[in-house]
Amino acid sequence: MTATLALSLGLQAAAATATIPAVDLLAATDGDLLQRVGTGDRDAFESLYRRYARSVFGLALRRLGDRGIAEDAVQEAFTAVWRSAGTYRPDRGPGAPWLYTVARNAIADRARRRPEPVSEVPDTPDHEPLPGERAEAEWVSWRVHRALEELPFSERQVIELAYWGGLSQTEVADFLGIPLGTVKTRTRSGLGRLAAALEGELE
């Protein structure tokens, strides 16, 4: 599936990535890969695809209930990742929740094109905060991000997916391909570490 998707996208990355320093793509974070994809890095795209194609397919299959349609949704999701990776900003959140949001939107678009109706959760209106509230919220967000960076990767990953990606614990387990009990354990441990790190700062 990777080769087919690469051909359909018409990836031309050699010139775009000529000045980008080489990195170990296996060890790179999701955010690092997305930033490289945003510059046209085909290898980074394929690495990101290998990491998440199976998980995205599982989400699509559960939502759409048809293997063929789910496979099409995965293709569309990663096409959208390739096209919009340049808009990803690491200061606004981690890479995995961003990728999940793109994938979820592609799956929802595919569901809407099906002949049978699919129920959607209605959007809630946004309430613009006052300048002082916005400044405080930005400081809290920055401090939480800093504390998250100090967590073990396994704990940070499940918390990021839950709080930035909006996934339930069951969805996190499906997305990462790990048992639900493991997600719950990592979440409890990670939140405990966060509470200790932020104690007295966010009151």
Residue 122 located in a structural domain: no
- Domain assignment present for residue 124? The answer is no
Round to whole Å and give the CA distance between 184 and 27: 25
pLDDT of residue 165: 64
Q: Does 120 reside within a domain? A: no
Residue 198 burial (CB < 10 Å; 0-12/13-18/19+)?
Answer: middle
- Whether residue 58 lies inside any domain: the answer is yes
Q: Are residues 84 and 18 in the same domain?
A: yes
Regarding whether 179 and 145 lie in a shared domain, the answer is yes
Burial letters 1-40, b for 16+ CB under 10 A, else e: eeeebbeebebebeeebeeeeeeebeebebbbbbbbbbeb
Does 27 share its domain with 84?
yes
| 125 in a structural domain | no
Number of structural domains in the chain: 2
Both tokens of 28, joined, read 């790179």
Q: pLDDT tens digit string along 54-98? A: 878 877 887 788 888 889 989 999 999 999 898 988 887 778 878
Does 58 lie in the same domain as 107?
A: yes
- Cα–Cα dist 111/113, whole Å: 5
What's residue 11's pLDDT? 44
Residue 166 lies in a domain: yes
Q: Exposure pattern of 127-156 as b/e (b: 16+ CB <10 Å)?
A: eeeeeeeeeeeeeeeeebbebbeebeeebb
81, 115, 149 - which closes a domain: 115
Looking at the fold, whether 46 and 108 belong to one and the same domain comes out as yes
Q: Is residue 128 in a domain?
A: no
Query: What is the spatial distance between Cα 199 and Cα 54, in angstroms, rounded to a whole number?
Result: 38
* Residue labelled with tokens 């890969």: 33
Does 100 share its domain with 32?
A: yes
Under-70 pLDDT residues of the chain: 1-24, 114-145, 164-165, 200-203
Quick check: is 126 in a domain? no
pTM of the predicted model as reported, rounded to 2 decimal places: 0.53
Q: What is the CATH number of the domain that holds 18?
A: 1.10.1740.10
Give me the pLDDT at residue 16, please: 41
Write out the residue range of the structural domain in which residue 12 sits. 1-115
- Any idea what the CATH number is for the domain that residue 149 is in? 1.10.10.10
Q: How far apart are CA 113 and CA 13, in angstroms?
A: 32
